[in-house]
């Protein structure tokens, strides 16, 4: 079992904790000459992306090749080949690999016209470059993302060659090495496919936008604002964790980074108030994971979804609003019931900041978020909206002396943004290998058909098998890559059964994210347990219980796409919100075993069944579920009243 990461003063070491659970944070911290080299490459990378956003992107293959070349150089310089190697000095092997890895995509840039003229006619040099490029992308993924994604990609590559030896449905004619290398490296169907295309245009800019918002102090503002709003309530710090993590999720695409960023403040406060360490870590993990579901930025995979589904990104944002709010409502209900169950109070109002004063002093820092939503609604492309928002974030910070950032901060923002994007870029490139194999072998259709056959053509079993597939593939795999895999393999199975394409893709997107808090590989929960000094597995189980809404909401919007603003009317939206909230309240009560007092086992069963029935939007199930919930509540209330009469003093609740 992992031991908590502490300093000699027995305080959690945030940098070490991030390095343990977030591979992207385990990079070299150079000094001297090396520091300036890395900074120059990273800043040049960001300037290239800003230039192409402002004046027009290059041809698709060229834009993506330059994008990947910058990323490969930084990955091999910053991430050592072995964990035992120094984090302060560059090993000569990594220096050589950085040069070679950068040269592979640049080969496409230098010989672009020649490659276009003889498309499909691969030379020996092309073969060597392509094969090396594929291997180095996989090695970069191993360093910055981890073995799970690399293992999945290798399995797909082996499948491409092993087709003739596989019996039954999954057998195929096989792919020759020359054809596979050409397909994966010299076309826009593999490494340089849609995922890297989206990364090379607007994902990078949104990550850069997030880096500048961090520089302006928006994260601290969100935490202070959450404290002012909910710190005084019953179980206040836990509710602060939910609100602040939801707000941070609007600009952060990483569950683990969100846990560490806000959890370093909220988890100690929760423990001080009396929350069990496992529960404190679980609250932060569940809330931070939900941050990837929160518009307007969400996780990087949301940008890919817009491209895969073929709708404007603003439509993805609109579709995500109600499910995200229901997710956080579900977590908040769980937190509130736990607080009541254990008699936990909030903080004194004297300890908390004033809302109005906060908004007056630092409210202007949130203006870029409002602006980016306005620009997307107004019809700007995500790339152009992000470009304007980056400039506005700097301008807004300059409005008051207390939030003003220096020229050094502006330059450092370019470096930090490029460094923060590396994991997403390499995950997109590696996911392109998987997509390339799927398109070359027809595996996607075969897997989708197999899932439907396994469920005998019924929707709910197909959804269940798809959920399990998405969670398993998401264990230790970044959300971006997980979404690419599941949207290619699992989403088509749901679409075959008549589910709208947006609902199908959102379904696998949700469960890919939930893998971050689903044991046994629950990275966000493990990061929370590191701060809380709790048992990682127990923290993961508790986080899954708190996030019960996340397991329920996707089924609701598949069965009723109204929740995603599809064919929407106001009465339909209000009805689905009401029934969903009641259902989550019932499930949360059953899981917590508490509402007005400790719930009897029969009441818990009634709450659980009633809550589940509210998932199905049909009138019959809603009526039966509502009746069950009301009967359970009446029985529970009568018993709570009887307990209060028999016990002197105020109720324990």
User: Is the pLDDT confidence value at 134 over 60?
Assistant: yes
Could you give the count of Cα atoms lying within 13 Å of 638 in the half-sphere of its Cβ?
A: 6
Last residue of a domain, one of 568, 591, 608: 568
Closest of 421, 488, 407, 422 to residue 451, by C-alpha: 488
Determine the average pLDDT of the residues in 123-147: 95
What pTM, to 2 d.p., does this model score?
0.86
Determine the average pLDDT of the residues in 96-113: 96
Last residue of a domain, one of 501, 533, 568: 568
User: Is the pLDDT confidence value at 265 over 60?
Assistant: yes
551 & 604 share domain: no
3-state secondary structure of 12: strand
Q: How far is CA 191 from the centre of its chain?
A: 22
User: Is the pLDDT confidence value at 296 over 80?
Assistant: no
Cis peptide, bond prior to residue 150, ω within 30 of zero: no
| Model pLDDT for residues 599-619, shown as the tens digit of each residue | 999 999 999 999 989 877 788
| Model pLDDT for residues 305-348, shown as the tens digit of each residue | 998 898 988 899 889 988 988 888 888 888 888 888 877 777 77
Compute how many other C-beta atoms are within 10 angstroms of the C-beta atom of residue 411: 13
Hey, which residues does 598 pair with through a beta bridge? 594
The C-alpha atoms of residue 5 and residue 65 are separated, in whole angstroms, by: 39
| Residue where the block lists tokens 């909910």 | 230
523 & 641 share domain: no
Give the gyration radius of the chain's Cα atoms. 25
User: Is the pLDDT confidence value at 35 over 50?
Assistant: yes
Evaluate whether 421 touches 143 at the Cβ level (below 8 Å). Answer: no
507 & 539 share domain: yes
The C-alpha atoms of residue 325 and residue 334 are separated, in whole angstroms, by: 14
561 & 636 share domain: no
Evaluate whether 2 touches 9 at the Cβ level (below 8 Å). Answer: no
Q: What pLDDT, on the 0 to 100 scale, is given for residue 253?
A: 60
Closest of 514, 528, 525 to residue 266, by C-alpha: 528
Determine the average pLDDT of the residues in 252-262: 73
Per the prediction, the chain carries an average pLDDT of 86
Determine the average pLDDT of the residues in 154-176: 92
Q: What pLDDT, on the 0 to 100 scale, is given for residue 9?
A: 47
Instruction: Let me know if residue 1 belongs to a domain.
Output: no
310 & 246 share domain: yes
530 & 604 share domain: no
Evaluate whether 456 touches 175 at the Cβ level (below 8 Å). Answer: no
Instruction: Let me know if residue 207 belongs to a domain.
Output: yes
Q: Which two tokens stand for residue 321?
A: 């609003």
Instruction: Let me know if residue 574 belongs to a domain.
Output: no
User: Is the pLDDT confidence value at 417 over 90?
Assistant: yes
C-alpha distances in angstroms, 30 versus 19, 27, 88, 628?
Answer: 16, 9, 5, 62
Instruction: Let me know if residue 274 belongs to a domain.
Output: yes
Per-residue burial over 43-54, b if 16 or more Cβ lie within 10 Å, else e, is: bebbebbbebbe
Closest of 433, 529, 392, 373 to residue 149, by C-alpha: 433
The C-alpha atoms of residue 633 and residue 511 are separated, in whole angstroms, by: 31
511 & 598 share domain: no
Evaluate whether 493 touches 462 at the Cβ level (below 8 Å). Answer: yes
Instruction: Let me know if residue 577 belongs to a domain.
Output: no
The C-alpha atoms of residue 486 and residue 308 are separated, in whole angstroms, by: 12
496 & 587 share domain: no
97 & 199 share domain: yes
550 & 587 share domain: no
Q: Which domain holds residue 462?
A: 16-568
Q: What pLDDT, on the 0 to 100 scale, is given for residue 129?
A: 97
Q: Tell me what percent of the residues of the chain surpass a pLDDT of 70.
A: 94
The C-alpha atoms of residue 507 and residue 564 are separated, in whole angstroms, by: 11
Evaluate whether 29 touches 78 at the Cβ level (below 8 Å). Answer: no
User: Is the pLDDT confidence value at 8 over 50?
Assistant: no
641 & 554 share domain: no
Last residue of a domain, one of 519, 539, 568: 568
Q: 510: burial class by Cβ within 10 Å (0-12, 13-18, 19+)?
A: buried
Q: What pLDDT, on the 0 to 100 scale, is given for residue 252?
A: 62
Q: What pLDDT, on the 0 to 100 scale, is given for residue 249?
A: 67
C-alpha distances in angstroms, 329 versus 333, 335, 588, 590?
Answer: 6, 10, 11, 16
Instruction: Let me know if residue 346 belongs to a domain.
Output: yes
Cα angle 567-572-573, degrees, rounded to a multiple of 5: 90
pLDDT band at 114 (very low <50, low <70, confident <90, very high): very high
pLDDT band at 2 (very low <50, low <70, confident <90, very high): very low
Instruction: Let me know if residue 469 belongs to a domain.
Output: yes
In the chain, % helix, strand, coil (3-state, to 5) comes to 75, 0, 25
pLDDT band at 19 (very low <50, low <70, confident <90, very high): low
Q: Tell me what percent of the residues of the chain surpass a pLDDT of 90.
A: 38
Per-residue burial over 606-630, b if 16 or more Cβ lie within 10 Å, else e, is: bbbbbbbbbbbbeeebbebbbebbe
137 & 234 share domain: yes
Instruction: Let me know if residue 169 belongs to a domain.
Output: yes
How many structural domains are present in the chain? 2
Cα angle 458-459-460, degrees, rounded to a multiple of 5: 100
| Model pLDDT for residues 184-204, shown as the tens digit of each residue | 999 999 999 999 999 998 889
Evaluate whether 45 touches 70 at the Cβ level (below 8 Å). Answer: yes
């Amino acid at each position: 079992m992992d031991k908590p990461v502490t300093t000699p003063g027995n305080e959690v070491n945030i940098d070490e904790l991030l390095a343990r659970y977030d591979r992207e944070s385990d990079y070299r911290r150079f000094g001297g000459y090396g520091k300036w080299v890395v900074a120059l490459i990273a800043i040049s990378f960001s300037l290239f992306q800003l230039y192409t956003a402002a004046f027009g992107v290059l041809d698709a293959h060229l834009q993506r090749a330059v994008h990947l070349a910058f990323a490969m150089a930084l990955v091999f310089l910053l991430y050592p080949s072995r964990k035992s190697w120094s984090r302060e000095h560059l090993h000569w092997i990594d220096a050589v690999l950085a040069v070679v890895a950068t040269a592979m995509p640049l080969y496409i840039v230098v010989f672009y016209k020649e490659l276009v003229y003889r498309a499909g006619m691969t030379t020996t040099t092309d073969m060597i470059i392509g094969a090396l490029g594929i291997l180095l992308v996989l090695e970069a993924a191993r360093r910055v993302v981890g073995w799970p994604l690399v293992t999945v990609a290798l399995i797909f590559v082996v499948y491409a060659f092993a087709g003739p030896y596989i019996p039954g449905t999954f057998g195929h004619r096989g792919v020759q090495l020359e054809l596979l290398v050409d397909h994966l490296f010299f076309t826009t169907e593999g490494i340089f496919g849609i995922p890297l295309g989206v990364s090379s245009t607007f994902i990078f800019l949104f990550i850069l936008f997030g880096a500048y918002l961090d520089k302006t102090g928006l994260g601290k503002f969100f935490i202070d604002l959450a404290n002012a709003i909910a710190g005084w309530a019953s179980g206040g710090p836990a509710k602060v964790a939910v609100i602040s993590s939801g707000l941070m999720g609007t600009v952060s695409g990483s569950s683990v980074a969100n846990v560490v960023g806000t959890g370093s403040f909220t988890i100690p406060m929760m423990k001080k108030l009396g929350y069990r360490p496992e529960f404190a870590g679980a609250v932060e993990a569940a809330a931070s994971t939900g941050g990837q579901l929160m518009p307007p930025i969400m996780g990087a995979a949301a940008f890919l979804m817009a491209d895969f589904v073929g709708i404007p990104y603003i439509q993805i944002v609109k579709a995500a609003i109600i499910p995200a709010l229901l997710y956080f409502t579900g977590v908040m209900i769980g937190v509130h019931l736990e607080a009541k169950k254990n008699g936990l109070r909030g903080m004194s109002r004297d300890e908390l900041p004033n809302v109005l004063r906060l908004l007056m002093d630092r409210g202007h820092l949130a203006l870029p978020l409002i602006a980016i939503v306005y620009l997307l609604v107004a019809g700007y492309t995500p790339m152009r909206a992000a470009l304007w928002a980056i400039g506005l974030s700097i301008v807004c910070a300059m409005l008051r002396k207390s939030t003003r950032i220096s020229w050094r901060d502006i330059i450092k923002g370019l470096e930090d943004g490029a460094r923060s994007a590396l994991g997403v870029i390499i995950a997109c490139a590696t996911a392109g290998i998987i997509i390339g194999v799927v398109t070359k072998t027809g595996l996607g259709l075969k897997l989708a058909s197999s899932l439907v056959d396994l469920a005998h053509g019924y929707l709910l079993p197909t959804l269940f098998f798809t959920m399990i597939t998405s969670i398993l593939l998401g264990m230790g795999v970044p959300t971006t890559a997980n979404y690419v895999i599941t949207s290619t393999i699992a989403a088509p199975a749901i679409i075959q059964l008549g589910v709208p394409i947006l609902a199908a893709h959102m379904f696998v997107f949700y469960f890919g994210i939930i893998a971050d808090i689903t044991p046994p590989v629950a990275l966000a929960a493990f990061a929370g347990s590191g701060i809380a000094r709790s048992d990682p597995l127990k923290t993961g189980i508790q986080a899954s219980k708190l996030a019960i809404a996340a397991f329920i909401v996707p089924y609701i919007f598949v069965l009723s796409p109204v929740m995603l603003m599809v064919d929407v009317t106001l009465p339909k939206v209000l009805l689905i919100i009401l029934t969903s909230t009641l259902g989550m309240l019932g499930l949360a009560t059953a899981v917590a075993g508490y509402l007005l007092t400790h719930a009897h086992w029969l009441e818990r069963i009634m709450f659980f069944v009633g809550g589940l029935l509210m998932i199905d939007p049909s009138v019959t199930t809603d009526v039966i579920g509502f009746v069950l919930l009301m009967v359970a509540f009446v029985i529970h209330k009568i018993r709570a009243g009887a307990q209060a009469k028999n016990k002197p003093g105020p109720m324990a609740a």
